Structure 1
Amino acid sequence: METLSHAITPSSSPKFTLPRNDNVSRRLLRYRHGFSSLNLRTLRSQRRSRVFSKVECSQSSNNNIDFSDPDWKSKFQQDFEKRFNIPHITDIFPDAHSFPSTFCLRMRTPVTEDFAEGYPSDEEWHGYINNKDRVLLKVIHYSSPTSAGAECIDPNCSWVEQWVHRAGPREKIYFKPEEVKAAIVTCGGLCPGLNDVIRQIVITLEIYGVKNIVGIPFGYRGFSDKDLSEMPLSRKVVQNIHLSGGSLLGVSRGGPPVSEIVTRMEERGINMLFVLGGNGTHAGANAIHNECRKRKLKVAVVGVPKTIDNDILLMDKTFGFDTAVEEAQRAINSAYIEAHSAYHGIGIVKLMGRSSGFIAMQSSLASGQVDICLIPEVPFHLHGPHGVLRHLKYLIETKGSAVVCVAEGAGQNLVEKTNATDASGNIVLGDFGVHIQQED
């Protein structure tokens, strides 16, 4: 309750059942012996080249660093600290008054009349997070850029400490709970665990003593659409919503101009906004934060990263990812059974992942049935001696069947480009699964 803009994530990944055909699509095709020059680019065959490409990529992003400077490490650390610094409310309101935290670490109950003036004394609480606490981002010291998974800053792979802020409740807060009107909004597409996050935010706010909590229906659209009303939220309302999928508040893409959103927030008295969404949603949240800052509004904007793709920097795992992997295995197993039962059968499973292959890779490893896994991070060819089609031919000749798992963003350089975009502004991807099927 003290920072103006920061990101949080649940400590555990909730599990729910995805709609059968919601986030996992399966395509099957049957091989008839028409592949002439089949090939494959497996992750294993790419391991060495990927190591070097990652090192080159890391080094290319640090071209402005003079490694001959004896102080380059300290300068790098200062720049890193600056880039990942979290703005504090006192940066905008230097005279902002702080209060002892109403978050009870031991009893986990909101403030009561048992405390003088409704707030606990400093002596009553222990174990809060200090503002200067940091977490070491990387714990492996790579001795060589050729080491598996090496991510080096300089050509010698020197050890450089990189620290990020430690999350957790602070001893001082800057909003009186009784004066807070907190709003929660879910944007973008559905993701397993949305209701879990909504529920936990509401419960935690009540533990702080916040009574006025509302949900904004159907994403940012709920701020401007006159037909959509705020939904009052409380522990009683959200008690069992984690047992259901989807989002209690509904979701949508896009929305009104940022200035209009902030104006509506100001009119409604919202001074704390929790935004659940992905890249586009958080770009909007950052714009809302900047607009509030421009207007000198004392509003806390809290970003809760939501992506089933698990591709957000600095996070070990995003909520919904485990469920996606678990459900994707059903499609993979079905593809395996159908491909294995057909003469020269090939099953193609296309999974979510516009620019990352976490779901495809983890699902392939977990199922143990996938012969080829294609992800956006690893380039590949269809034709030629090391191409996907050549390897498919080999699999058909030796095994009689094959299963291919494809992340939706893989192979986009091989399909026809499109200028179409969705409601979030993302380019509509070509269907690489169909493209493989049409190759002969």
Structure 2
Amino acid sequence: METASLSRPQISLSLSRFCKGRPRIHLDRPAQNPIKLFGFSSKKLVFRRDLRFPASFPIKAKLQIEDDGFVLEDVPHLTDFLPSLHTYPNPLKKSPAYAIVEQDFVNPEDVVSQRVVIRKGSPRGTHFRRAGPREKVYFEPEEVCSCIVTCGGLCPGINTVIREIVCGLNYMYGVTEIMGIKGGYRGFYSSNTIPLSPKSVNDIHKRGGTILGTSRGGHDTTKIVDSIQDRGINQVYIIGGDGTQKGASVIYKEIERRGLKVSVAGIPKTIDNDITVIDKSFGFDTAVEEAQRAINAAHVEAESVDNGLGIVKLMGRYSGFIAMYATLASRDVDCCLIPESPFYLEGEGGLFDFIEKRLKENGHMVVVLAEGAGQELVAQSMRAVDETDASGNQLLHDVGLWLAQNVKDHFTTNRKMTVNLKYVDPTYMIRAIPSNASDNIYCTLLAHGAVHGAMAGYTGFTIGPVNNRHAYIPTLSEIYTPFYVVLKCVTETQNKVGITDRMWARLLASTNQPSFLNYKEHIRGKLNVEYLKMIEDLRGLREGTQPATPSENEFGEDIQKSTDSSPSARG
């Protein structure tokens, strides 16, 4: 495959931050068709000029790029590969529910900006196609045969999404043929379908879990698309996380290759809130609300005894949003540990030191940690072998039990101090409950937006709010062009807590905990250069960046110079 190039000046673009585990893409040859590209570098926002592509370069992403830095990252449409499709008047024109709506349909030119704060003269940034009903649709109600499938782990609100897709198709568009695929992706080829109607899904939103069942793995593209084709399905609604949406994009591409009139719509699902681009994922508010109950229980236990310590482990494999927001909402937490912010146990300024100080001050303490926090420390101490589940996700070590045992050992052996420790793990309780009021409303908007998009002929998209406006976001996962990764496809990167953002600073101010990264107060002069570099590298790995160089720390200061001038170095 030919490479894309920059003509003036010649620049080699490294995309390792966004392509972990994939070869880097270099732009090193002049070519044809100059366009301007707005994208991201590893350090800052950049505006790249004179990017050129050969005519043979397989550009799959639908991008509209203008001179002022406006970028529309559009979603695929059935007419991209079936140009002769007929359109029909939207049935909503006759709907009593929409008769009073001032603006019945979304203007096809409406877009949603990913950036709400810009500076004068700066590029306008990335935009997405606005979600909502269109004046023309590409399916007649009588011809629609739709299916719904749920994949991956459980999450509050799945049943609400299922219910609202069914009711939206039936009440708004008059669709009657709707089926549920049982047991995840493998249900396409190994299980019977179940018929769905507004009556059969009437009260499922009051239950946790998913009425369709779920599973991890089982994705066989050929078998799945064969099943879709054999059953006459022409609308597929896929509810799942980033791995599931990657699978959805593969299904869409196979459907496109076969030239089938089938719309594939994704509804992003992850309780961890780690899907990028969208504001948040459904079920997150419910998870935070339920997590507070566990935190409150730990707080009651801790304050009822001398030197009471409550440790609460919450969900958050790679992102600590649940732990952070539950901590902020609770106000009973003394320390919050998340995957994005490495910590250390021993020594001045370490976690053990902070626990001892807080117990002496207050007589009790509550620690909240995400399940992905401190995994490097656990792996080092246990010398564990990495394993993965059926979806390819790394199986995490139980950091909660590990931390609880280490705290007991430290204070019993080293400090001769009695600590009454209570460990609370509400992980599966949180994700198995029905969604709360705000999530139910959110799920309704997601489901209806997906239905409107599929009926309008869009395909290979994910629905979600971008700056509080629902938009259609492409789910394309393969790297067809360098800029597609630079523009951060929804399935290519993970949403993570920014430990340099104000929200994390608000948490630190609320708990009054140390950041465990403040080298100026806690580490400088106490540890050797190799350990400093190790912590820098861990931060780099968590953020998806290259490991820090050994000569510079996060403050841009010379590490060797700092350690040489420390008391230990001088003495």
Normalising to structure 2: TM-score of the pair? 0.58
Q: Could you say which residue in structure 2 is the equivalent of 1:209?
A: 174
1:232-251 matches, cutoff 5 A: 232-251=195-214
Return the match for 2:237 from 252, 274, 292.
Answer: 274
Q: Could you say which residue in structure 1 is the equivalent of 2:398?
A: 431
Confirm or deny: 8 A CA contact 1:104 1:125 kept in the other structure: no
Confirm or deny: 8 A CA contact 1:277 1:304 kept in the other structure: yes
Q: Could you say which residue in structure 2 is the equivalent of 1:405?
A: 368
- Helix, strand or coil at the partner of 1:236: coil
* Distance in 2 (alpha carbons) for counterparts of 1:61 and 1:176: 49
Letter in 2 for 1:213: I
The answer to whether residue 187 in structure 2 is matched with residue 198 in structure 1 is no
Q: Could you say which residue in structure 1 is the equivalent of 2:477?
A: none
Return the match for 1:85 from 52, 66, 74.
Answer: 74
Q: CA RMSD in A?
A: 2.7
Confirm or deny: 8 A CA contact 2:144 2:175 kept in the other structure: yes
- The Cα of 1:64 is off from its aligned counterpart by 7.3
Confirm or deny: 8 A CA contact 1:105 1:125 kept in the other structure: no
Return the match for 1:354 from 299, 317, 329.
Answer: 317
Q: Which runs of 4+ in 1 moved over 4 A?
A: 61-69, 73-76
1:74-153 matches, cutoff 5 A: 77=69, 80-81=71-72, 84-104=73-93, 107-108=96-97, 127-141=104-118
Q: Residues 84-112 of structure 1, C-alpha deviation per residue, up to 9 Å, x if partnerless?
A: 32111111111111111112475148xxx
Confirm or deny: 8 A CA contact 1:418 1:428 kept in the other structure: no
Structure 2 unaligned segments of length 5 or more: list them: 1-38, 52-64, 411-571
Confirm or deny: 8 A CA contact 2:68 2:123 kept in the other structure: no
* Distance in 2 (alpha carbons) for counterparts of 1:106 and 1:205: 13
Q: Could you say which residue in structure 2 is the equivalent of 1:420?
A: 387
Confirm or deny: 8 A CA contact 1:224 1:256 kept in the other structure: no
Q: Could you say which residue in structure 2 is the equivalent of 1:301?
A: 264
Q: Residues 199-244 of structure 1, C-alpha deviation per residue, up to 9 Å, x if partnerless?
A: 110011112111110000111121121xx31111111111111122
Greater RCO, CA 8 A, separation 6+: 1
* Distance in 2 (alpha carbons) for counterparts of 1:241 and 1:105: 29
- The Cα of 1:158 is off from its aligned counterpart by 4.3
- The Cα of 1:268 is off from its aligned counterpart by 0.8
Letter in 2 for 1:186: T
Cα separation, partners in 2 of 1:212 and 1:350, compared to 1, 3 Å: same
* Distance in 1 (alpha carbons) for counterparts of 2:343 and 2:217: 34
- The Cα of 1:380 is off from its aligned counterpart by 2.4
- Helix, strand or coil at the partner of 2:75: coil
Letter in 2 for 1:312: I
Q: Could you say which residue in structure 1 is the equivalent of 2:42?
A: 60
Structure 1 unaligned segments of length 5 or more: list them: 1-56, 110-119, 144-156
Q: Residues 381-437 of structure 1, C-alpha deviation per residue, up to 9 Å, x if partnerless?
A: 223323222211111111112111001111122121532111211000122222222
Letter in 2 for 1:435: W
Q: Could you say which residue in structure 2 is the equivalent of 1:26?
A: none
Q: Could you say which residue in structure 2 is the equivalent of 1:183?
A: 147
Q: Could you say which residue in structure 1 is the equivalent of 2:350?
A: 387
* Distance in 1 (alpha carbons) for counterparts of 2:94 and 2:351: 55
Confirm or deny: 8 A CA contact 1:418 1:427 kept in the other structure: no
- Helix, strand or coil at the partner of 2:218: coil
Letter in 1 for 2:157: G
* Distance in 1 (alpha carbons) for counterparts of 2:154 and 2:321: 18
The answer to whether residue 135 in structure 2 is matched with residue 171 in structure 1 is yes
- The Cα of 1:194 is off from its aligned counterpart by 1.0
* Distance in 1 (alpha carbons) for counterparts of 2:186 and 2:385: 27
Q: Percent identity?
A: 48
Q: Could you say which residue in structure 2 is the equivalent of 1:35?
A: none
- Helix, strand or coil at the partner of 1:349: strand
Letter in 2 for 1:430: H
* Distance in 2 (alpha carbons) for counterparts of 1:256 and 1:163: 31
Letter in 2 for 1:102: P
Q: Could you say which residue in structure 2 is the equivalent of 1:218?
A: 183
